[in-house]
């Protein structure tokens, strides 16, 4: 499969891809020959997951089953599912590729993606479980006025979900074309169809198991690749890093030559973040964006109680942290085992075959041969499926639970109708994702995941955390603050280099920073604070009076929605 690999650029691989990462659609037009091992393994995965979906469908009878898997997932299972939801193909391939090309900078991203988790645990996990039912809007509208707050939260959810979905779909199409030799459109349609099936028929139960299986496969596969890399150095870290350093010096790849020419140390930060404002802003988006991602927040409603919710985060943090350490080893391992092998190198372009994002995939071949390569390719496909399914379920829930059941019908709905609407929303979201995935094939969508994180950090997170902790938050304050966060994020990203220059083709960016979080988050918090403080309406007083009962439920779980029998 290696002779005609097209370039894979995992769009949205890391938050704001630098130009070296940006999509290279022109280079990605050729198709590879079919990779049979990978296809057979992938079909095995699909067969198992569809079997699970069939089983889950028979157990999905109520809205509680559909949105929250009946609340019967254990902390350990949920920890794995969260890890499965969070470790995307983009972070697997993207971070190991960044370590491969630039060294230490990859680790800076990993750390940013991880440190949000402890904060979610300390400040949010049990509160989410005790106050919410199916979506994070449940928590915000616990005290605040239903219609406007649900609408705003649903909007924040849909923005985040659709941006994230497009980036995943485009990445999936390009990756699968490379790995499996399937045409781009087929790949996007297969991914879209499977995610609709999982979500519409199997609901949260099927989605959870897809994520658990994927997490186990990905962690196992990545462990073997990393062990292969360390084995080569006889498990001596000094020897391992020394050979990586020498590997860069001897490498013929363009990125490595640049590192050598600039006299950069691959074991030190390499100017990924250049000024303090960008550094802090990126850090904020990574950390608090995670705490505002609707598909992640939704996972906390699948466990029985606060105890299990806490355990979920403990296990998830362990798995995700372990995974990032593996990607770090895999990236440097690829410098040693992949870069010097002409078999993996596209000498004309000065990159790896299929682009540097393929570092981890080539590592699979270098450490385990054709069969293992097939396995890892299938795992990469499964990874995408697990992530898009979680996203689709979150989006569908925002439509059926927040907009239809609560904002429109005031909470008085027939469960069966609500579920039907949710299933049709999943279908509609799937079709939209397939359509946009195909439309955006040749576009640079690298900014979309970054934008999704920034919206999550600046619109969803502030109103959520304030509604839990700040007595004085009122509907008016939350609406104005949340909208300010949403609008400024979108505006600043459009005016920044990532969209204004890289996508729209203007010469100079109107907004100097790639990441708006430091400004948009601040504005959202100040907006919430100021307009809540100024709000002396009768409604505001009623909302403040509800804080104490809310806090009792938050702390003790009394009145929280319990688990059902299964």
Partner 1 sequence: MNADPVDKRLIERIQKHPKYRELVTKRSRFAWILSGIMLLIYYAFILLVAFTPKSLGTKISPDSVISVGIPLGVFIIVIAFILTGIYVFRANGEFDELTRQIKEETK
| Nearest C-alpha neighbor of 167 from the set 229, 91, 59 | 91
- Judged by CB under 8 A, the number of residues near partner 1 is 70
Q: Please, how many CA atoms are within 13 Å of residue 181, restricted to the half-sphere of its CB? A: 13
The DSSP code sequence of 87-109 is S-HHHHHHHHHHHHHHSTHHHHH
| Nearest C-alpha neighbor of 460 from the set 160, 180, 34 | 160
Can you tell me whether residue 556 is helix, strand or coil? helix
| Nearest C-alpha neighbor of 180 from the set 283, 31, 51 | 31
* Candidate residues 27, 546, 563, 564; the one interacting with partner 1 per rule CB under 8 A: 546
Can you tell me whether residue 462 is helix, strand or coil? helix
* Candidate residues 46, 57, 230, 245; the one interacting with partner 1 per rule CB under 8 A: 245
* Candidate residues 20, 254, 279, 563; the one interacting with partner 1 per rule CB under 8 A: 279
Residue among 48 and 279 whose Cβ is closer to partner 1: 279
Residue among 114 and 455 whose Cβ is closer to partner 1: 114
Max alpha carbon distance in the chain (Å)?
Answer: 73
Can you tell me whether residue 109 is helix, strand or coil? helix
Using rule CB under 8 A, residue 392 touches partner 1: no
Q: Please, how many CA atoms are within 13 Å of residue 359, restricted to the half-sphere of its CB? A: 35
Using rule CB under 8 A, residue 18 touches partner 1: no
Beta-carbon contacts of residue 430 (< 8 Å; ≥ 6 apart): 192, 193, 195, 196, 199, 392
| Nearest C-alpha neighbor of 127 from the set 531, 466, 566, 523 | 466
Hey, which residues between 410 and 429 contact partner 1 (CB under 8 A)?
Answer: 411
* Candidate residues 2, 61, 257, 553; the one interacting with partner 1 per rule CB under 8 A: 553
Burial of residue 293, with CB atoms counted within 10 A of its CB: 0-12 exposed, 13-18 middle, 19 or more buried: buried
Using rule CB under 8 A, residue 111 touches partner 1: yes
Hey, which residues between 323 and 362 contact partner 1 (CB under 8 A)?
Answer: 324-325, 328
174 to 213: interface string for partner 1, x by CB under 8 A: ----------------------------------------
Distance of CA 161 to the CA centre of its chain: 10
* Candidate residues 118, 252, 369, 512; the one interacting with partner 1 per rule CB under 8 A: 118
Using rule CB under 8 A, residue 275 touches partner 1: yes
Residue among 277 and 501 whose Cβ is closer to partner 1: 277
352 has which bridge partners? 345
62's torsion region: left (phi>0), alpha (psi -120 to 50) or beta? Answer: beta
**Is 10 within 8 Å of 20 (Cβ atoms)?**
no
Using rule CB under 8 A, residue 543 touches partner 1: yes
Beta-carbon contacts of residue 366 (< 8 Å; ≥ 6 apart): 228, 334, 337, 338, 341, 344
Q: Please, how many CA atoms are within 13 Å of residue 550, restricted to the half-sphere of its CB? A: 25
Can you tell me whether residue 17 is helix, strand or coil? coil
Residue among 196 and 287 whose Cβ is closer to partner 1: 287
Residue among 196 and 473 whose Cβ is closer to partner 1: 473
Contact range with partner 1 by CB under 8 A, out of 260-268, 362-370, 386-394, 457-465: 260-268
Residue among 394 and 465 whose Cβ is closer to partner 1: 465
Report, in Å, the least distance between residue 59 CB and partner 1.
Answer: 27
Contact range with partner 1 by CB under 8 A, out of 65-73, 248-256, 313-321, 502-510: 313-321
213 to 242: interface string for partner 1, x by CB under 8 A: ------------------------xx--xx
What's 270's DSSP letter? Answer: -
Can you tell me whether residue 216 is helix, strand or coil? helix
Residue among 109 and 184 whose Cβ is closer to partner 1: 109
Using rule CB under 8 A, residue 269 touches partner 1: yes
Report, in Å, the least distance between residue 354 CB and partner 1.
Answer: 28
346 has which bridge partners? 351
Hey, which residues between 125 and 154 contact partner 1 (CB under 8 A)?
Answer: 126, 138, 141-146
Burial of residue 173, with CB atoms counted within 10 A of its CB: 0-12 exposed, 13-18 middle, 19 or more buried: buried
Using rule CB under 8 A, residue 547 touches partner 1: no
* Candidate residues 261, 276, 342, 565; the one interacting with partner 1 per rule CB under 8 A: 276
Contact range with partner 1 by CB under 8 A, out of 64-72, 272-280, 394-402, 433-441: 272-280
Q: What are the residues binding partner 1 (CB under 8 A)?
A: 104, 107-108, 110-112, 114-115, 117-119, 121-123, 126, 138, 141-146, 237-238, 241-242, 245, 265, 267-271, 273-276, 278-280, 282-283, 287, 306-307, 310-311, 313-314, 317-318, 321, 324-325, 328, 411, 542-543, 546, 548-553, 555-559
């Amino acid at each position: 499969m290696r002779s005609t690999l097209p370039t894979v650029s995992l769009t949205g691989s890391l938050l704001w891809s630098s130009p070296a990462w940006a999509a290279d659609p022109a280079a990605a037009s050729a198709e590879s020959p079919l990779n049979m091992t990978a296809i057979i393994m992938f079909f095995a995965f699909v067969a198992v997951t569809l079997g699970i979906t069939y089983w889950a469908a028979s157990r999905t009878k109520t809205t509680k089953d559909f949105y929250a898997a009946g609340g019967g997932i254990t902390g350990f299972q949920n920890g794995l599912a969260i890890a499965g939801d969070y470790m995307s193909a983009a972070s697997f391939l993207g971070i190991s590729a960044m370590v491969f090309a630039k060294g230490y900078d990859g680790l800076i991203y990993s750390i940013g993606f991880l440190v949000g988790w402890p904060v979610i645990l300390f400040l949010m996990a049990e509160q989410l479980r005790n106050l919410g039912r199916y979506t994070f809007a449940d928590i915000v509208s616990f005290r605040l006025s239903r219609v406007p707050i649900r609408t705003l939260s649903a909007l924040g959810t849909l923005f985040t979900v659709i941006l994230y979905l497009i980036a995943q779909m485009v990445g999936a199409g390009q990756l699968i074309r490379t790995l499996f030799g399937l045409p781009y459109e087929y790949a996007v349609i297969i991914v879209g169809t499977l995610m609709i099936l999982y979500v519409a028929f199997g609901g949260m139960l099927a989605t959870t198991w897809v994520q658990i299986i994927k997490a186990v496969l990905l962690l196992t596969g990545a462990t073997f690749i990393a062990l292969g890399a360390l084995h080569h150095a006889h498990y001596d870290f000094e020897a391992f890093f020394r050979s990586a350093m020498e590997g860069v010096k001897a490498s013929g790849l363009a990125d490595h030559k640049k590192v050598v020419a600039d006299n950069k140390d691959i074991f030190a930060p390499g100017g990924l973040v250049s000024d303090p404002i960008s550094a802090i802003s990126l850090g904020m988006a990574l950390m608090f964006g995670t705490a505002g991602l609707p598909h992640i927040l939704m996972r906390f409603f699948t466990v029985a109680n606060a105890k299990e919710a806490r355990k979920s985060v403990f296990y998830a943090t362990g798995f995700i942290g372990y995974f990032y350490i593996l990607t770090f080893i895999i990236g440097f391992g690829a410098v040693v085992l992949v870069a010097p092998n002409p078999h993996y190198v596209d000498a004309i372009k000065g990159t790896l075959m299929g682009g540097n994002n393929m570092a981890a995939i080539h590592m699979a071949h270098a450490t385990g041969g054709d069969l293992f390569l097939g396995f890892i390719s299938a795992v990469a496909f499964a990874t995408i499926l697990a992530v898009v399914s979680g996203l689709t379920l979150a989006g569908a829930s925002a439509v059926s639970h927040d907009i239809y059941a609560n904002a429109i019908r005031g909470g008085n709905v027939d469960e069966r109708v609500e579920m039907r609407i949710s299933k049709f929303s999943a279908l509609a979201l799937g079709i939209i994702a397939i359509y946009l995935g195909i439309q955006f094939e040749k576009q640079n969508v690298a900014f979309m995941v970054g934008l999704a994180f920034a919206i999550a950090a600046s619109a969803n997170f502030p109103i959520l955390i304030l509604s839990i902790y700040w007595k004085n938050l009122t509907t008016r304050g939350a609406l104005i603050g949340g909208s300010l966060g949403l609008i400024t994020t979108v505006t600043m990203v459009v005016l920044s280099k990532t969209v204004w220059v890289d996508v729209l083709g203007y010469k100079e960016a109107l907004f100097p920073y790639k990441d708006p979080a430091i400004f948009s988050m601040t504005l959202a918090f100040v907006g919430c604070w100021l307009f809540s403080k100024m709000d002396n309406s009768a409604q505001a007083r009623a909302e403040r009076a509800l804080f104490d009962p809310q806090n009792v439920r938050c702390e003790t779980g009394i009145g929280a929605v319990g688990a059902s029998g299964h």
